[in-house]
Amino acid sequence: MKRYIKNMNMLSKDENEKLKGFKVCVVGCGGLGGYIIEMLGRLGIGHITAVDGDVFDQTNLNRQILSNDESLGQSKALTAQRRMELVNPLIELIPITERITKENAEAILYGHDLIIDAVDKIDTRFLLQNSASKLEIPIVHGAIAGWYGQVSTIFPGDNTLDKIYPIKDGDGLENEFGNPSFTPALIASIQVSESLKVLLHRGETLRNKLLYIDLLENDYIVMELME
Partner 1 sequence: MGIEVRLFSNLREDKRKKVFFEFEEGINVFRIIRILNVKEEDVEILLINGRYGEIDIELNDGDTISIFPPIGGN
Asked whether position 25 contacts partner 1 by CB under 8 A, the answer is no
**How many angstroms separate the CA atoms of 153 and 197, rounded?**
10
At its nearest, how many Å lie between partner 1 and the CB of residue 110? 23
Whether the CB-CB separation of 17 and 170 falls below 8 Å is answered with no
**How many angstroms separate the CA atoms of 72 and 165, rounded?**
33
Identify which of 187, 191, 156 has the alpha carbon closest to the alpha carbon of residue 174: 187
β-bridge pairing 47-51 and 209-214? unpaired
Cα→Cα distances 52→31, 79, 130, 199, Å: 12, 10, 19, 23
At its nearest, how many Å lie between partner 1 and the CB of residue 57? 14
Candidate residues 66, 164, 185, 196; the one interacting with partner 1 per rule CB under 8 A = 164
How many residues belong to the site for partner 1 (CB under 8 A)? Answer: 46
With contacts defined by CB under 8 A, name the span among 43-51, 90-98, 105-113, 171-179 that binds partner 1.
171-179
Identify which of 162, 158, 214 has the alpha carbon closest to the alpha carbon of residue 187: 214
Asked whether position 67 contacts partner 1 by CB under 8 A, the answer is no
CA dihedral 172, 206, 125, 45 (to 10 degrees): 120
Asked whether position 99 contacts partner 1 by CB under 8 A, the answer is no
Radius of gyration of the chain, Cα coordinates, nearest whole angstrom: 17
Asked whether position 139 contacts partner 1 by CB under 8 A, the answer is no
Asked whether position 177 contacts partner 1 by CB under 8 A, the answer is yes
Asked whether position 206 contacts partner 1 by CB under 8 A, the answer is no
**Helix, strand, or coil here: 87?**
helix
Identify which of 167, 74, 159 has the alpha carbon closest to the alpha carbon of residue 121: 167
**How many angstroms separate the CA atoms of 158 and 207, rounded?**
8
Candidate residues 129, 148, 199, 205; the one interacting with partner 1 per rule CB under 8 A = 148
**Helix, strand, or coil here: 139?**
strand
Nearer to partner 1, 90 or 221 (CB): 221
With contacts defined by CB under 8 A, name the span among 3-11, 37-45, 102-110, 172-180 that binds partner 1.
172-180
Asked whether position 157 contacts partner 1 by CB under 8 A, the answer is no
Asked whether position 65 contacts partner 1 by CB under 8 A, the answer is no
Candidate residues 20, 120, 135, 197; the one interacting with partner 1 per rule CB under 8 A = 120
With contacts defined by CB under 8 A, name the span among 8-16, 70-78, 86-94, 175-183 that binds partner 1.
175-183
* Residues at the contact surface with partner 1, assessed by CB under 8 A: 28, 30-33, 118-122, 125, 142-145, 147-150, 163-167, 170-177, 179, 184, 210, 212, 214, 216-217, 219, 221, 223-227
